[in-house]
C-alpha cells in the first residue's frame, strides 16, 4: 500500500504560488504573441480593423488578468514571508 502524502497549509500555499508564477509566465508570452498579431491586423499587412478590435479586447482582458495574478503573487509572497519569520 502506498503512503498517502499529507501536505501542510504551507505546502498548499507554495503550490498555489508556483502555479500563479507559471500562469504569469505563460500570460506574458501569450500577450506578446497576441500583440504582434494585433499589429498585423491593426496597421500591418492584413489591415482588418474589426478583427484588430476583437484582438484588442482580448489583450485588455489578458492585461487585467496579468495584473490580478501579479497582485495575488505579491499578497501570497507576503504571507509566505510572514510565516517564515
In the predicted model, residues of the chain with pLDDT beneath 50 are: 1
Rounded to two decimals, what is the model's pTM? 0.81
What is the DSSP annotation of 61-79? HHHHHHHHHHHHHHHHHHH
Separation between Cα atoms, residue 48 and residue 56, nearest integer Å? 12
The pLDDT value recorded for residue 56 is 96
The pLDDT value recorded for residue 40 is 95
Amino acid at each position: 500500500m502506498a503512503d498517502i502524502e499529507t501536505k501542510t497549509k504551507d505546502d498548499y500555499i507554495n503550490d498555489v504560488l508556483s502555479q500563479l508564477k507559471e500562469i504569469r509566465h505563460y500570460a506574458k508570452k501569450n500577450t506578446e504573441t497576441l500583440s504582434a498579431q494585433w499589429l498585423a491586423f491593426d496597421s500591418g499587412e492584413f489591415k482588418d480593423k474589426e478583427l484588430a478590435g476583437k484582438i484588442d479586447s482580448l489583450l485588455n482582458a489578458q492585461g487585467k488578468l496579468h495584473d490580478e495574478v501579479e497582485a495575488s503573487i505579491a499578497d501570497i509572497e507576503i504571507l509566505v514571508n510572514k510565516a517564515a519569520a
